[in-house]
Chain A
Amino acid sequence: MSRPVRLAALLLGAAMAAPSLALADVQFSAAGSTALQPLVQAAAEAYQAMHSDVKISVTGGGSRTGLALVASKSVELGDSDIVAVNQPDLVDHKVAVIGFAVVVNPSAGVTSLTKKQIQEIFSGKVSNWKDVGGKDGAITVINRPASSGTRAVFIKTLMGSAELSKDTLTEDATGTVVQKIKQTPGAISYAAFSGTHNQSGINELAIEGNAPTDENIESGKYPFWSYEHIYTNGPPSKEVSRFIAFLQSDSELLHKTGYILVRDMKVSENDR
């Protein structure tokens, strides 16, 4: 390349980069939980539409990845389904509540289970649906991987001290789990409301007679839920905290993406 051509290419490149540098005065990124990602993504899009000088990038990677990235200051916002332990630098912002449901294949023949029955099924003590009031048929338990945030919530809120049996199917994505339940008679598993509501071919179970609805979670009757956390490394900057506040308060956005507002909750985590 001759000198004039090279110089022109350099100037062109700089000219293309300049506008984006000038407009994005404020930039921050969020990473972590894939359950929370749709909400953060939608909020980021809405927020950027309102503030043209802000650029927010949102990625997934899982709750623990999000926590690791925010702890190392690679991102400003770490999205997580689980509470960060032994991380005194991280500041917790509870941004939403997410509900989970225990789901079964319709051939099971049950519409509600007690906590004890759920523990017996998932620990392997009970292996036929007729023992819990359903039709005669083998129970096929589907779990999530050991490091999954959803599984951690299930263990914490429903399993109590009972141990999960290891001799179960394990599937990763909510979509795969739902597909497996639809096509496997007697299958049972658990997933977030966003994957289980309004799905044909699977039944959401009531727990102790309380249906998996937002109202039952808010009043504390339905136990299978968790907070969605966004962690910041230290107190957040003014811009970041404005975004978090926006996310927490936009009720239309939260309901559209299937979450519950923290301020609608009449119980807090400790009450469970």
Chain B
Amino acid sequence: MVGANVGKAHRDERIALVVLATCSAIFVLAIALILIYLAWSGTKLFFADHVSLFTFLFGSDWDGLAGKFGAAPFIVGSLVATGFAILVGGPLGVAIGVFFSELAPPRVAAAFKPAIEVLVGIPSVVYGWLGLTLLVPLIGRIFHSGGDGLLAAGIVLSIMILPTVISLSEDALKVVPTALREGSAALGATRWETISRVLIPSASSGLAVAVILGIARAIGETLAVQLVLGNAAVIPSSLLKPAAALTSEIVMDMGDAPDGSPFQHALFSMAFLLLLIAMALIVLIRIALRRRA
């Protein structure tokens, strides 16, 4: 009787192993296929349609149906909007994270944490619609312009990444060893000196991860940006003029671009470019994490 049970246990373990390994293999295979497909479709524009990479990256003449594929307006738009979000939302998010982690009364911090986590889950379309109906007219009234543009997109993106950056910054600061805090206090440092010279530097790689994940959300944001950016395929002369982004252009024209046309290939190239940027960010995160150890 004992021998039979042991045999069954071993067989169950092997079955579980096979099932889990198969699931993992399928998943890895699916990701690999997506990457390969994007790489293959994304380079067709250059190999099959003979559009020069230089024109694509730096040319600003874009007319998909007429064969002009200068994607610089979209690249510039995406980078500027994301850059704005990093420069505004990043430090602000870290600062608020520091506040909740180190300076706020514990009960206040505990009450706000779930609220911030709920904010992370708000769908982009809600941010976009609020941007379209509230922010854009407001900017238009203040600056006497149309309102659509990189300023609106930057503000919307900054607000969108704040909950992510705050939440992760808080977590990064929490894991700083108490010994460091106590040591700093023992040396006579004020709370601010402890925070600025001990805690933030030692949590720096965790804070970097927080900001980088915020960037990743910002660069991939499609709908919210599309509703407030204006989507004019030109490089704008100011933050208040309509601009364009890689993500919004892809979503607006991918469905209707004729199958197999250079236009469609160009959109795939833009998608591939977005993937490369996202992968570069992941590499940065890994480097930051390695420094942690």
Could you tell me which A residues sit within 8 Å of B by CB distance? 61-65, 68, 140, 145-149, 166-172, 176, 179-180, 183-184
Contacts and interface: CB of A to CB of B under 8 A. Distances in A.
Nearest to B234: A167
A189 B256 CA distance: 20
Contacts of B255: 61-62, 64-65, 147
Contacts of A149: 256
Interface stretch (B20-28, B113-121, B140-148, B164-172): B140-148
Interface residues on B, range: 20 to 34
Contacts of B234: 166-167
Interface in B131-157: 132-133, 136-137, 140, 146-148
B56 interface: no
A184 B147 contact: yes
Interface of B: 62-65, 132-133, 136-137, 140, 146-148, 226-227, 230-234, 242, 244, 251-253, 255-259, 263
Nearest to B233: A166
B64 A179 contact: no
Nearest to B226: A172
Given A169-B231, A171-B231, A179 B256 contact: no
B148 A169 contact: yes
Contact of B137 (A62, A167, A183): A183
8 contacts: A140-B146, A146-B253, A147-B252, A149-B256, A166-B232, A166-B234, A170-B244, A172-B251
Contacts of A148: 256
A169 B248 CA distance: 13
Contact of A146 (B63, B133, B146, B251): B63
B257 A167 contact: no
A68 B263 CA distance: 15
Contact of B140 (A65, A168, A184): A184
B232 A168 contact: yes
Contacts of A179: 132-133
Contacts of B133: 179, 183
Given A146-B63, A172-B226, 7 more contacts: A146-B263, A148-B256, A166-B233, A169-B148, A170-B244, A170-B252, A184-B140
Closest 3 CB pairs of A and B: A147-B256, A170-B231, A145-B252
Contacts of A166: 62-63, 232-234
Q: Which of A68, A149, A170 has most chain B Cβ within 10 Å?
A: A170
A168 B184 CA distance: 58
B257 A147 contact: yes
Nearest to B137: A183
A132 B225 CA distance: 33
Nearest to A183: B137
A166 B231 CA distance: 10
Nearest to A71: B259
A9 to B, nearest CB: 19
